[in-house]
Structure 1
Amino acid sequence: MQHLKIGVIGVPMDLGQNRRGVDMGPSAIRYAGLLSRLEALGHEVKDFGDITIERRTEEEVSPGLKNLSQVIKANDLLRMKVEAIEEEGYYPLVLGGDHSIAIGTLAGVTKDRKNLGVIWYDAHGDLNTSETSPSGNIHGMPLAVSLGLGDESLTSIGGFAPKIKPEHIVIIGARSLDEGEKELIKEKGIKIFTMHEIDRIGMTRVMEEAIEYVKTNTDGVHLSLDLDGLDPNDAPGVGTPVLGGISYRESHLAMEMLAEAGILTSTEFVEVNPILDERNKTAEVAVALMGSLFGEKLL
């Protein structure tokens, strides 16, 4: 793998969901040795620090959208930071934080890309809107928002919408979808590999097909990896764990195949929750997977 200039940015935010703790995710990932691990692989790594997030006060509830104004502000700050990182020639590596931060990441990396491919590695579809969400938590909406669906104050971050197209998305590892999300996946023809497909055809074939799909007619590929995509036995420190997930080894294989393909232009790892974790196990898993993603090999 070629040596990269990697720009790390943390987003210590838990405003997109109810369970507290994911705001400490970026610190936990850094503590698990991320920067030194990437540098040991020969990459030039610059830590751009953390986005400043407003402290949670009394929960703000707009119709079907919790903490809306704070989530908008944080994601707009992230968008600008991601744009600046890319302008300096760095590969953006964003550390969450809850998954609502993907709104800002995708707004930033699509400023100069019209056909971004997206790999959404997650137990959930994150395709809800305020009309379909059972909870009103915005961390269940970032993929829909990036498709231009939902509240205009979210979809218009960065001054344009949509950010991505349904034919350029692949969801991997889904096993918990709301009814509105299922309908949207069918309506938009979004490519999805649920745990059924992973079990049935294996992770190697899933990744081969996913890589071929997202690199076709695209001008870059973004990986958005939610640690709850993994099985809770391997990644217990997440906000919304779902049994029966992707294994630790399958995830390493997926990252290794992405490294070999050389198609990624940006990445984010989200939803590490140290409060719910076991001695920082999930952050260590995240760092190990990033090692594989950025070229680490046994031999």
Structure 2
Amino acid sequence: MRRDLVVVGAPTSAGSYAPGQEAAPGVLRELGLVERLRAVGRRVRDAGDGPLHVWAPDPQHPRAQNLAAVVQAVRAVADHVAGALEEDADVLVIGGNCTVALGVMAALTERDPDAGLLYIDRHFDLNTPASTREGALDWMGLAHGLDLPGAAEPLAAAFARRPLLTPGQVHLLGIDPEAATSWEREQASGLGLWWGSHTDLATRPGPEVTRALGALPSGPLAVHLDVDVLDFTDAPLAESTDGRNSGPTLDALSEALDTACRDPRFRVLSICELNPARAAGHPAVLHRFIASLQHALRATPSAP
């Protein structure tokens, strides 16, 4: 049997391009997420939410918008995850945007410096406020975890360890190189980051995850999912609508999550960039997504 499972909400869109993701924790709960996890044999405790932050334009800090709110949100995630790990529980974090992964890894590396991160995302998230004028910190999370040149000081220094991550602790899957900035491609190459493409994740999800897991350290494992990796036509869930007719279907992603969450090192799954409003015309996709989480986090591999 698996450990108990603690569910944590991170209702923040502070680092995003617009509001929406802050609603995800509440909507998934309303649709029965906790009850459905219990139905597959997990002992589940809902630890509630961190601070609510709804995106608003921040003209005073145009290249790192809502930075103080982002730091507050990720520190709250770190505290929640650390508390659950102290109870020897696994954790499901429902974001929010991708900066949430920094809080997860702060808690894991505090317990074991050899913690690994499987980062499933269409983007490298290696931009900094100095490398892009977009200003949205949600595609800058890994840059701050790795403390790249031009990172915003309050976020790069938000935790006890700096840099929070080393390149060997991270493996990215689902990357679309055409969606990367030239800065991101240069940084990924210079750091020697391990990554796999969105095409490979779509066509052979299980083997791609197995390959990635084999390259990660022996310590506890976090799995981070940005739902924009999905084919938006198959599963309209993400804030970004760019992934149309490319990337894994939800069925393929479910296979990937199932493989990752069965790894004996697994401790935390974080879900980010889910905007429930995107599913307004196809609400069944939210139930399908919950079913994927339910299957990946079931009590035993033989459970339904």
TM-score of the superposed pair, with normalisation by structure 1: 0.91
What is the CA distance between 1:73 and its match in structure 2? 1.5
Instruction: Between 283-292 and 33-42, report the one with greater CA deviation.
Output: 283-292
What is the CA distance between 1:109 and its match in structure 2? 2.2
Structure 1 counterpart of 2:91: 92
2:44 is paired with a residue whose SS is: strand
After superposition, give the CA deviation of every residue in 1:177-217 in whole Å (9 maximum; x if it has no partner): 11111111101111111124346x72233122112112xx3
Structure 1 counterpart of 2:237: 237
1:113-124 correspondence runs (5 A): 113-124=112-123
Structure 2 counterpart of 1:249: 251
Instruction: Between 49-58 and 19-28, report the one with greater CA deviation.
Output: 49-58
1:1-299 correspondence runs (5 A): 2-54=1-53, 59=58, 61-62=60-61, 64-149=63-148, 150-175=151-176, 176-198=179-201, 202-214=204-216, 217-241=217-241, 242-243=243-244, 244-278=246-280, 279-295=282-298
1:66 is paired with a residue whose SS is: coil
139 and 282 in structure 1: CA distance in 2 versus 1, 3 angstrom threshold? farther
User: Within 1, Cα distance between the matches of 2:250 and 2:57?
Assistant: 38
User: Within 2, Cα distance between the matches of 1:61 and 1:113?
Assistant: 38
User: Within 2, Cα distance between the matches of 1:13 and 1:283?
Assistant: 19
Instruction: Between 62-71 and 115-124, report the one with greater CA deviation.
Output: 62-71
How much is the aligned-residue C-alpha RMSD, in angstroms?
A: 2.1
Instruction: Between 271-280 and 236-245, report the one with greater CA deviation.
Output: 271-280
What is the CA distance between 1:127 and its match in structure 2? 1.2
Letter in 1 for 2:171: V
Contact 2:16 2:136 in 1 (8 A): yes
219 and 60 in structure 1: CA distance in 2 versus 1, 3 angstrom threshold? farther
User: Within 2, Cα distance between the matches of 1:58 and 1:210?
Assistant: 37
Instruction: Between 183-192 and 78-87, report the one with greater CA deviation.
Output: 78-87
User: Within 1, Cα distance between the matches of 2:28 and 2:283?
Assistant: 8
Letter in 1 for 2:220: G
Number of equivalenced pairs: 295
After superposition, give the CA deviation of every residue in 1:226-260 in whole Å (9 maximum; x if it has no partner): 11111102321211132201112211211222244
What is the CA distance between 1:61 and its match in structure 2? 3.9
Contact 2:279 2:285 in 1 (8 A): yes
User: Within 2, Cα distance between the matches of 1:56 and 1:270?
Assistant: 15
Instruction: Between 235-244 and 47-56, report the one with greater CA deviation.
Output: 47-56
What is the CA distance between 1:57 and its match in structure 2? 5.5
177 and 121 in structure 1: CA distance in 2 versus 1, 3 angstrom threshold? same
Point out where structure 2 has 5 or more consecutive residues left out of the alignment. Answer: none
Letter in 1 for 2:127: N
User: Within 1, Cα distance between the matches of 2:247 and 2:199?
Assistant: 10
Contact 1:108 1:158 in 2 (8 A): no
Contact 1:32 1:280 in 2 (8 A): no
Letter in 2 for 1:235: A
Point out where structure 1 has 5 or more consecutive residues left out of the alignment. Answer: none
1:79 is paired with a residue whose SS is: helix
User: Within 1, Cα distance between the matches of 2:119 and 2:238?
Assistant: 16
Contact 1:29 1:286 in 2 (8 A): no
255 and 141 in structure 1: CA distance in 2 versus 1, 3 angstrom threshold? same
User: Within 1, Cα distance between the matches of 2:127 and 2:174?
Assistant: 17
Greater than 6 Å deviation, 4+ residue runs: none
Q: Percent identity?
A: 23
User: Within 2, Cα distance between the matches of 1:60 and 1:264?
Assistant: 40
What is the CA distance between 1:55 and its match in structure 2? 5.2
Contact 1:8 1:95 in 2 (8 A): yes
Letter in 2 for 1:103: L
2:110 is paired with a residue whose SS is: coil
What is the CA distance between 1:58 and its match in structure 2? 5.5
